[in-house]
Amino acid sequence: MFEDNKKPTMNSKRVLLLLIIYFVIFLKFVPEIAKKITLMLNPYATIMSIPVLVVLYLMVTAASIYIARTVWKPSVEKFRSEPKKYIRIIVYAIVLILVVNFGLSIIISFVTQTDTSQNQQIIETNSLISPFYTFFYTCLIAPVLEETIFRGGIYTFVKEKMGVSAALVISSVFFGLIHVSSSLFNGNINDFVYLILYAGIGLILGYAYERSDTIIVSVGIHAGNNLFSFIMMMI
């Protein structure tokens, strides 16, 4: 499945394929396909079938990992060489994200007079409808898929072409934008300020990926942060 590589690398064709998979297939076509399959299985269904979504999401995630195998293979090998070291990095970074997230959330909430972003509101609503789906999506699929796209794809490619600083900024801004895009499309301009929060998280994830040189670390941090948020929602 993987090719032999000693260091994560990403060419333009792979990045383009990853972007198509994420922005076209994952965000656009998967919901439409899931809706059609759900109605085929149950014409009276009012919500999309969770098992159908799970299968489709797993297929898309597996495809993106395969495309980014030039990043994943050396990352897995490096993580296996010193797992305790990288687990410590993951734990420290999760704590850092939680502290930064808490501080920025208070400031942004004060400025916007809102409790949370629209993205977070959607997640909280989904958690009430289907806790399993919310856990599966936020703690498993989102960390793996988004880290593959934004750190494994965009960050690695930009770093090779423009250096670390540009890679950190560009990948973090893209990461932030995708988390506020639904708000902007709905005309909720006030939510744009949450770009600072999500881009800040992306910056920490990018820095952790750069320092560790393994995407397993950024995936672990992303998953840990989302797991903490999920637990807090369910309490």
Range of the domain at 81: 73-234
Residue 101 covered by a domain: yes
Residue 59 covered by a domain: no
Q: pLDDT (tens digit, 9 = 90+) per residue, 68-88?
A: 999 999 999 999 999 999 999
Residue 12 covered by a domain: no
Q: Can you say whether the dihedral through the CA atoms of 54, 59, 64, 70 is positive or negative?
A: positive
Residue 209 covered by a domain: yes
Q: pLDDT (tens digit, 9 = 90+) per residue, 201-210?
A: 999 999 999 9
Residue 226 covered by a domain: yes
Determine the Cα–Cα distance for residues 53 and 61; give it in Å rounded to an integer.
12
pLDDT at 61 (0 to 100): 98
Determine the Cα–Cα distance for residues 191 and 225; give it in Å rounded to an integer.
21
What is the domain count for the chain? Answer: 1
Residue 62 covered by a domain: no
Q: pLDDT (tens digit, 9 = 90+) per residue, 130-140?
A: 889 999 999 99
Residue 55 covered by a domain: no
Q: pLDDT (tens digit, 9 = 90+) per residue, 103-130?
A: 887 887 777 666 666 666 666 666 656 8
Share of the chain above pLDDT 70, in %: 86
CA distances from 123 to 3, 51, 130, 159, 230 (A): 36, 18, 10, 32, 9
Determine the Cα–Cα distance for residues 60 and 91; give it in Å rounded to an integer.
28
Mean pLDDT of 150-176: 96
Determine the Cα–Cα distance for residues 46 and 103; give it in Å rounded to an integer.
39
Residue 92 covered by a domain: yes
pTM: 0.90
Determine the Cα–Cα distance for residues 37 and 57; give it in Å rounded to an integer.
14
